[in-house]
Amino acid sequence: MTQIRVKNSVLECFVQAPPEDGKANQHIFKIVARTLHLNEKFLSMVSGELSKNKVIKCDLTFLKESELTKWMEELLLTLDNLAKDP
């Protein structure tokens, strides 16, 4: 089962994919991309490739200012909903 939630301003992902050959990281990228409404190609691992704690960078330079504002508004709604789930 895959679970995603916001806790203490951190996006937490729980996956069952094994941490072998990058399978867990690939699964996390898919979840984060879907949650953030982004294509995976705009995500990159900054740190934590072999760790349970990861830092993922989102490249949003392709968005125009008005698109970025809309994306951020949608993201805040999504994260707010995740934070409300137990």
Distance CA 67, CA 83 (A): 24
Give residue-wise pLDDT tens across range 50-61: 998 899 999 999
The fold adopted by the segment(s) 3-84 is Conserved Hypothetical Protein Mth637; Chain: A; (3.30.1200)
Phi (first) and psi of residue 10, to 5 degrees: -120, 135
Name the DSSP class of 52: S
Instruction: Write down the pLDDT at residue 80.
Output: 84
pLDDT band of 86, cuts 50, 70, 90: low
Give residue-wise pLDDT tens across range 14-63: 888 888 888 899 999 998 998 888 999 999 999 999 998 899 999 999 99
> Which residues are within 8 A (CB) of 83 and not within 5 positions of it... i.e. 6 or more apart?
5, 6, 7
The ranges assigned to domains in the chain are 3-84
Distance CA 18, CA 65 (A): 39
Judged against a pLDDT cut of 80, whether residue 1 lies above it is answered with no
